[in-house]
Amino acid sequence: MTQIEIKTLLHESIENINDEDFLLSIKNLVERKYIPPTPLKLSAWQVEKLDNAKKEIEEGKYLSDTEADKIVDEWLSK
């Protein structure tokens, strides 16, 4: 059984278990191995750049994947 198959089976099984004590036991067991990712800490400059990018997208100032690919292909062919 692959990792993906095991995870799928576990997800499905947990969804169908209604025993709260058993679920808490599983939670405690999983917490011993799972380390949540550290949240990203963005600088003020990064937050400003993201806000500006979002605003440009809302204003329709962006390229489609096809348009961007075409520009990159032109750059690479020079």
Cα(48)–Cα(54) distance, integer angstroms: 10
Whether residue 1 is found in the same domain as residue 32: yes
Whether residue 31 is found in the same domain as residue 1: yes
Cα(50)–Cα(44) distance, integer angstroms: 10
Whether residue 4 is found in the same domain as residue 22: yes
Per-residue pLDDT at 61: 95
pTM: 0.43
Instruction: Please name the residues in contact with 56: beta carbons below 8 A apart, sequence gap of 6 or more.
Output: 62
Distance of CA 28 to the CA centre of its chain: 24
Stretches where the chain sits below pLDDT 50 are none
Q: Report the number of distinct structural domains present in the chain.
A: 2
Per-residue pLDDT at 34: 87
Whether residue 32 is found in the same domain as residue 5: yes
**Enclosing domain of residue 55:** 44-76
